[in-house]
Amino acid sequence: MKAAKRRGGLAAIVSVTAILAAYPLSRLAPQDSFPSHPPRPARLRPVEFPPFQETVLPNGTTLVVVENHEEPVLSVTLSFRAGEATAPAGKEGLAGLVAELLTKGTATRTAEQIAAQIEGAGGTLGASAGDDFLTLAADVLSDHADLAFELLGDVCRSATYPGDELELARTRALSALALELSQPGTVARRFFDAEIYGKNPYGRSPTQESLKGITRDDVVKFAAARLRPGGALLVVAGDVTLPQARALADTAFGGWRGAPAASPTVAVPPVKASTDILLVHRPGSVQSNIVIGNPTFLPTDPAYYPARVALQVLGGGPDARLFLILREQKSWTYGSYAGLTRKRGLGSWQATFEGRTEVTDSALAELLHQIARLRTEAIPDSELKNAEDFLVGSFPLTIETPRQIASVVTTAKLLGLGGDYIRLYRERLASVTALAAKAAAARTIRRNALSIVVVGDAGKLFDRLKAVAPVRLVDVDGKPLALDDLHPHGGPVALDPSQIVARRDSFNILANGSPVGFLVAAVDRGTDSILYTERTNIAVAGVDQSATVTLDATTLDVRRVDQEGSMMGLKPETHLTYRGGRVKGHASSPQPDRTLKSIAIDTSLAAGTIDDNALNMIFPALPLEPGKTISLNVFTGGDGTTKVLTVKVGQPESVTVPAGTFQAFRLDVSGGQAPLLVYVSTLVPRRTVKTEIVGTPLQFVLVK
């Protein structure tokens, strides 16, 4: 593909050269040469935003109509003060489930009928929930405006929130949450929100416990309390007039009544007295994620405009300071950014960085230096102009379609930004001076009271970061850690041999839910030994490997390991003998450059060390108690090293796999090449029923 592109580019150059050769340069008049200076920018023209009209329906819903007759399309949004911030404490994720269930059935239509009607008309219908608002949205051709209103009226007034659909929505939400928590950037942002907002609803995030604890009764009560016409906002944008929209709204919502939902009492975000670092320990992580910032102001504060420009200069894109310095100059990251978050309540600003563990402290120091510059130095005219030109020039791109127009109008109205906000937005940004931007940055950025969250391997980061600011240590669940916890020491673990019985287990290997291979594990017990074998096959990746582990039947000590097969066209193999506190043998393993690295192994081992090839069989034999943490010495033949694996045992939960539904302990395993989630059945003799490689789409699910 690259060669083809080069040939295409070369052909174009050859063509241009041939044309110039056939047209003597003497024929070019002076006025035909390229100008030596760019043309002057034209005067900023007002945004050509369609005029909108506003009225209040008899039931208290505000109707806003934005006429645009260029195309026969229509976008209708209906918004409520029913975002995640309005959900009760302990029910985080409730608003998102309500939004998903709104279109899953009403008193007169099934989910399938709703989908068939809107899709049959070439339209879309859906709902989403943010921090502050829940919004239903429909997009149709204007000929089907009546259908859009009819369906919106039906789902917001008569949704039935079926129990089976709730379980499906919960499953999807839990899967999405698991994926989010595997991403260190998401983990950092969740901790950052909790740091700056504390017990305020903006500081809360959905958890497994909160999602699992939401009942259908919670869904019905929340919808009844929050989805009311009083105080709702109905925005209609596109090929429609106010009389038409009013008539359609009266038909769809005319008999609907309900006073505005009460505003919940919320906690005031904490006030910090000094800057410190919350270091979130993610064992084995080779990179770190930084989020730094603090709360700011209400959405209507006029400081928004100069602060927006200042933060654009700091980290708004590839031409901003953080990107140019941390990526282009120092090659520490693929990208570093900064920006403002606007909420109906107190907003925030934040800067982010993602890069190698080794440069984390240097990157944080540079972030703090650039933040200090923004607060204390006037922005040069060239940087100020570039930032303003980008913000001003990109705004019209956000109001090109009826859906975009409806979204911008909805946001402005819900945040209380005033009737002239959209019309004057560009002018207000363009008028920001360097002095105003500096003053806004000094006010917005609390240099001596910043919240800094770093997610990474704290064992490698703590000493580096404590020189920057005071450090608090927590694990990925938010539990406080001591320094000794950063370097766990493995030791002999009392294994239960009775959990290891003769059996043959088959697993499907899934990638994004689709089968890509299989794993077969077998245990054969002899008089004094146990033979454990595994065969793994992933044809699409060229993997077909077999491993055989011989163990003592009484102590479960490893005696011998033999592993061989093929991987990416290579033939790796391992042959090890364990005896008298030593392991001897040789191993070859694939490298990133698709070569084999071979090593000779002859090293001493601590008592109770487990070979990594035996882990799948050993997990059920661990002393599994909810809340317990187990540290294992594990020898890896591929690199000839011993690692300490930390196994955190969670409460039993229901796990469904092709082999059935099991109550299973959740084991969070860290310290290896990648974090694992391993589910071991509680039923004796225990067995592994599911394994997930965190941060990847791969799962191993028990089939039989």
Residues 500-547: pLDDT tens digits? 999 999 999 998 889 999 999 999 999 999 999 999 999 888 899 999
pLDDT tens by residue, 237-251: 999 999 999 999 999
Q: What is the pLDDT of residue 703?
A: 97
Q: Which of the two residues, 295 and 21, has the higher pLDDT score?
A: 295
> DSSP string spanning 331-348?
--EEEEEEEEE--SS--E
Q: What is the pLDDT of residue 639?
A: 87
Mean pLDDT of 545-552: 96
At 45, the pLDDT band (50, 70, 90 cuts) reads low
- Whole-Å CA distances, 688 to 212, 257, 610: 23, 54, 17
Q: Which residues of 428-456 are buried (b: 16+ CB within 10 A; e: fewer)?
A: bbeebebebbbbbbeebbbeeebbbbbbb
10 pLDDT exceeds 80? Answer: no
Q: Which residues of 222-234 are buried (b: 16+ CB within 10 A; e: fewer)?
A: bbeebbbbbbbbb
pTM of the model: 0.81
Q: What CA–CA distance (Å, rounded) separates 276 from 43?
A: 46
Give every CB contact of residue 684 below 8 A, 6+ residues apart in sequence. 498, 499
The 3-class secondary structure across 550-583, one letter per residue, is EEECCCCCEEEEEEEEEECCECCEEEEEEECCEE
27 pLDDT exceeds 50? Answer: no
12 pLDDT exceeds 60? Answer: no
Range of weakest confidence among 6-10, 350-354, 359-363, 649-653: 6-10
The mean pLDDT value of the chain amounts to 91
At 613, the pLDDT band (50, 70, 90 cuts) reads very high
